[in-house]
């Protein structure tokens, strides 16, 4: 009987401690807010089509290089949006880029400094070749039997991914020091748990360049910021 009482008391204590920890998190989102970044593009999409004559059973006979992807409402996709000075963002989860149909999928990724997993789901030889300056450049064959390869990118920068076997393959990985996300086909990216206060928000696009703005982030609220990118 006494044991049961002790156990119940312990459970009650644990329960209230948990409430104490969870309570403020839910209310104030860890003292951070959400920044909804919207990027518009006033122009036509840019998509290059090319004929393929190599590994056609996996790559197809034609491929597209999507340089400027414009969705509904003039939203610009594939833009890296980030709050580079935001500390205490969500813990980095492993980012995966697949080589599928002789394309890098997704075309643009964002990661915290750390590890990138490169998948080869094509069952053919690819050769990862990165163009980077802050991080060591990689030039490595990934034969069909090597399904995954893990590479370290510890320094913030935007890294260009190419393949020496398939000249049209192009991808980008943005290593971001703070909190980052990639815009969807509506041109929207959500940065979650951004610490309250003044924050610099940066946007980067592979052909349209870079812009930044300062926003005032309020805890537990969504702050909207919009950008417009112009064709060159």
Q: Which is nearer to Cu ion, 161 or 176 (CB)?
A: 161
Strand partners, 189: 37
Interacting residue with Cu ion among 165, 174, 191, 203 (CB under 5 A): 165
Q: Which listed residue (103, 107, 166, 205) binds Cu ion by CB under 5 A?
A: 166
Cα distance from N-terminal residue to C-terminal residue, the chain: 79
Using CB under 5 A, pick the residue from 163, 174, 179, 215 that binds Cu ion.
Answer: 163
Burial of 198 per CB tally in 10 Å (0-12, 13-18, 19+): exposed
The H or E element spanning position 78 is: none
Instruction: Write down the least CB distance from residue 163 to Cu ion, Å.
Output: 3
Closest separation between CB of residue 166 and Cu ion, Å?
4
**Binding characters for Cu ion, 91-130, by CB under 5 A (x = yes):** -----------------------------------x----
Is-contact 179 33, C-beta < 8 A? Answer: no
Contact 33, 224 (CB under 8 A): no
Number of residues that bind Cu ion (CB under 5 A): 5
Residue 29 or 170: the one with the smaller Cβ distance to Cu ion is 170
Cβ closer to Cu ion: 169 or 217?
A: 169
**111 Cβ partners below 8 Å, 6+ apart?**
92, 95, 153, 173, 174, 175, 176, 180
Using CB positions, name the residue nearest to Cu ion: 163
* Mask for 29-68, x = binds Cu ion (CB under 5 A): ----------------------------------------
Select 99 or 223, whichever has its Cβ closest to Cu ion.
99
Between 9 and 148, whose beta carbon lies closer to Cu ion? 148
Stretch near Cu ion under the rule CB under 5 A, chosen from 67-75, 108-116, 166-174, 192-200? 166-174
The distance of closest approach from Cβ of residue 126 to Cu ion in the complex, given in angstroms and rounded to an integer, is 3
Residue 182 interacts with Cu ion (CB under 5 A)? no
The H or E element containing residue 206 is: none
Question: What is the full DSSP assignment across 147-189?
Answer: -EEEEEE-S-EEEEEEESSSTT-EEEEEE-SSEEEE--TTSEE
Place of tokens 């909804």: 36
Dihedral over Cα of 56, 57, 60, 66: its sign: negative
Please say which residue, 172 or 204, places its beta carbon nearer to Cu ion.
172
| Interface with Cu ion (CB under 5 A) | 126, 163, 165-166, 169
């Amino acid at each position: 009987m006494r044991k049961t009482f002790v156990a119940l008391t312990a459970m009650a204590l644990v329960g209230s401690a948990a409430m104490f920890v969870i309570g403020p998190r839910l209310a104030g989102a860890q003292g951070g807010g959400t920044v909804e970044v919207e990027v518009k593009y006033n122009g036509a999409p840019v998509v290059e089509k090319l004929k393929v004559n190599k590994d056609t059973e996996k790559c197809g006979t034609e491929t597209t290089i999507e340089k400027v992807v414009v969705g509904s409402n003039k939203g610009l996709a594939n833009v890296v949006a980030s709050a580079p000075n935001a500390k205490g963002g969500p813990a980095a989860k492993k980012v995966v880029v697949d080589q599928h149909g002789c394309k890098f999928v997704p075309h643009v990724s964002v990661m915290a400094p750390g590890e990138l997993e490169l998948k080869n789901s094509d069952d053919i030889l690819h050769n990862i070749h990165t163009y980077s300056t802050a991080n060591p450049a990689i030039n490595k064959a990934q034969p069909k039997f090597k399904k995954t390869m893990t590479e370290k990118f510890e320094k913030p920068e935007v890294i260009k991914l190419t393949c020496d076997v398939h000249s049209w393959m192009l991808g980008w990985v943005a290593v971001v020091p703070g909190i980052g996300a990639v815009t969807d086909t509506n041109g929207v990216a959500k940065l979650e748990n951004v610490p309250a206060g003044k924050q610099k928000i940066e946007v980067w696009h592979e052909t349209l360049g870079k812009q930044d703005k300062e926003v005032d982030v309020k805890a537990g609220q969504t702050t909207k910021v919009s950008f417009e990118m112009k064709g060159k």
